[in-house]
A and B are shown apart, each in its own frame.
Chain A
Amino acid sequence: MSKLTNLFNQKNARVLNVYCTAGFPQLNSTLEIMESLQANGADIIELGMPYSDPLADGEVIQSSSLVALENGMTIEVLFEQLANMRKTIHIPVILMGYMNPILQYGFERFCKAAKEVGVDGLILPDLPLFEFETIYGAAINENGLDFIFLVTPETSEERLKKLDNLSSGFLYAVSSSATTGKDKDFSKVALYLKKLKAFGLKNPFLVGFGIKDKESFNAVNEYANGAIIGSAYIKALSSGSDVNAITKTFLESILK
């Protein structure tokens, strides 16, 4: 059983997935931040692999990606940093990123390396369903990695069913069609999440995009199994240099 499935078997409500950009704010911050997230109550760590042209991300995450790239972060460097992560990190770790850097690294090589260092799942927002089914899905599955598809309020029921079936670990529900870091009208979001909850998904689902504080975290947890926080945490990390203190304060503000 995958670490993600195991997590949701034990905890199916208020699961907190925190996103951070690998190599931000410093090249070597990655592991320190992961340890700090784990120590302060995060259930899942989503590590963003920086890309020069991140279409699905808003300004905050894009600028953190550019800093990380300037710091020298690459997939190669990231796997070196994560080589011994399982000595200290026990919670599930997901890699999020865009197809182009992975293709240059080599897709199969990437899946193997991810498995080897103990990564549990992948979120690749610009990997389309057709190419997943015909080309790339095999390497992901062979290496026992969970694959998490995104779904949105505009995703048709038929497609939702398909994406749910092909996903494992959990499903990533985008609260509305928007890039990360945008504010949302919550009544619409609630309606969508209610529908999603009633749909009878195979996977648990976490809500992302627009979750930034205790209030929004609590609100989506009325319907979802948990939430993903990204931009708000990156913003917090940008505000100072003590990542441990920032992470502790930030997670307390969400969870306490």
Chain B
Amino acid sequence: MQLFDKTAEYQQPNEEGYYGEFGGAYIPEMLFGNVEELKHQYLEIMNDPDFQIEFHALLRDYVGRPTPLFYAERLSKEIGTTVYLKREDLCHTGAHKINNTIGQILLAQRLGKTKIIAETGAGQHGVATATVCALKGMECVVYMGEKDIERQAPNVARMKLLGAKVVPATSGSKTLKDATNEAIRAWINEPDTTHYIIGSVVGPHPYPDMVAKFQSVISDEIRKQLKEKTGSELPTHVVACVGGGSNAAGAFYHFLNEPTVDLVAVEAAGHGVHSGMSAATTQLGTTGILHGSKSILMQTKDGQVVEPHSISAGLDYPGIGPLHAYLFKSGRGTFTSATDEEALEWASHLSKIEGIIPALETAHAFAVLPKMNFKPTDVVVVCLSGRGDKDLATYMSNIKM
């Protein structure tokens, strides 16, 4: 049974960047030139055959795509259904983030830019950006919340080793939201030569659409791989964790217009959705504008953005991409959440039953599986968005070993 509007357009926002009421480009005039340039050129550049050839060659030879779709036998038995894992953790740099940074660095080259800036939360996007900058010989500056620099030390070291400059964001909550503010400001101050690689499906139009399209390689592969393994391209469920929502957007993309596929987005509940220490945006948020687009965000009644909490830096964001806000509002997506504790439990559990140590972000997606009441005949694909090496320090101090 599906209640949502089947004719709604989920794969392409309108010309002004709206998915339903969400999206747009709420940016100061100082950014207009850059954003307008992108808006006019991104589709043309992305659809250019030369671009496509170079993009897919790098995804294959450098990133290691296609990533496997793995039948998780012990997990399936435990949950009582068929579970496949889309192994984005096996991408070069350890997460799906590099799909987007490869695309955007090629785009930046074609726009004639020489310097790249980026924001990062967990550091996965920062590492993925530093990596492609090294690959293409471009200057790279990554903005990262001071608090995240502390809790994601290995990724900070990786970025530096790759030649990037890491600039701490010291304002506000000193996390991803503030790193994004700093990156946007840096872009305002140097618009001519710089391209800003946003790491999620957030920001002013055309970023949400552009990032979703670069990440859509995930669901494109899932369809083909599932067909090979099961005879059908369509699973019954696709499950992914959501902070800003880039791995979810990529895993959902080619199923958005397949009404029989339930798209399950898992947010970070922190200490519990109503604990006051949470990042479950759709549960706690209202319509508002942050980082250049209208979406759902956690805010006070006076419209000040609330500082979220999640143990995982990658989900510690008070907003959600406009596509996801639209999936939530229209009922196309199923939104649920997992707490810090559940995520830790599942990081440990998945390691033991499948031999895969997931990132803390990813562990949230697994934590909801036992609660979903799957039928034995269901086919569930979980986007295993990243590996857990970067979270070892957190695991060591929070999990009994």
Contact = CB atoms under 8 A, between A and B. Distances in A.
B184 A55 contact: yes
A127 interface: yes
A33 interface: no
B191 A177 contact: yes
Interface stretch (A8-16, A144-152, A211-219, A233-241): A144-152
Contacts of B27: 55, 126, 128
B302 A76 contact: yes
Contacts of B362: none
Contacts of B4: none
Given A51-B304, A179-B185, A179-B189, A100 B29 contact: no
A56 B305 contact: no
Contacts of A178: 30, 188-189
Nearest to A56: B28
A242 interface: no
A126 B26 contact: yes
Contacts of B188: 55-56, 177-179
B299 A155 contact: no
Interface in A96-119: 98-105
Contacts of B26: 99, 126-128, 131
A100 B303 contact: yes
A69 interface: yes
A224 B333 CA distance: 53
A62 interface: yes
B289 A126 contact: yes
A122 interface: no
A154 B187 CA distance: 14
Q: Is the interface of B mostly helix, strand, loop or mixed?
A: mixed
A104 B299 contact: yes
B16 interface: yes
B109 interface: no
Interface in B144-183: 171-172, 177, 181
A105 B300 CA distance: 11
A53 interface: yes
B62 interface: no
B303 A154 contact: no
Contacts of B172: 52-53, 66
Contacts of B16: 130
B85 to A, nearest CB: 36
B245 interface: no
Contacts of B30: 56, 150, 152, 154, 174, 177-179
A182 interface: yes
Given A58-B185, A69-B304, A125 B290 contact: no
Contacts of B177: 53
A75 B289 contact: no
B302 A154 contact: no
Contacts of A150: 28-30
A52 B304 contact: yes
A28 interface: no
A151 B30 CA distance: 8
A81 interface: no
A166 to B, nearest CB: 12
B302 A155 contact: no
B24 A128 contact: yes
B13 to A, nearest CB: 13
29 contacts: A52-B172, A53-B172, A53-B181, A56-B188, A66-B172, A75-B303, A76-B302, A99-B26, A100-B297, A100-B303, A101-B303, A104-B303, A105-B303, A125-B29, A126-B27, A126-B28, A126-B289, A126-B292, A128-B25, A130-B24, A152-B29, A154-B33, A154-B191, A155-B33, A174-B29, A177-B30, A177-B189, A178-B188, A179-B185
Interface of A: 51-53, 55-56, 58-59, 62-63, 66, 69, 74-76, 98-105, 125-128, 130-131, 149-152, 154-155, 159, 163, 174, 177-179, 182
Given A99-B289, A155-B32, 5 more contacts: A51-B303, A66-B171, A69-B304, A100-B289, A163-B29
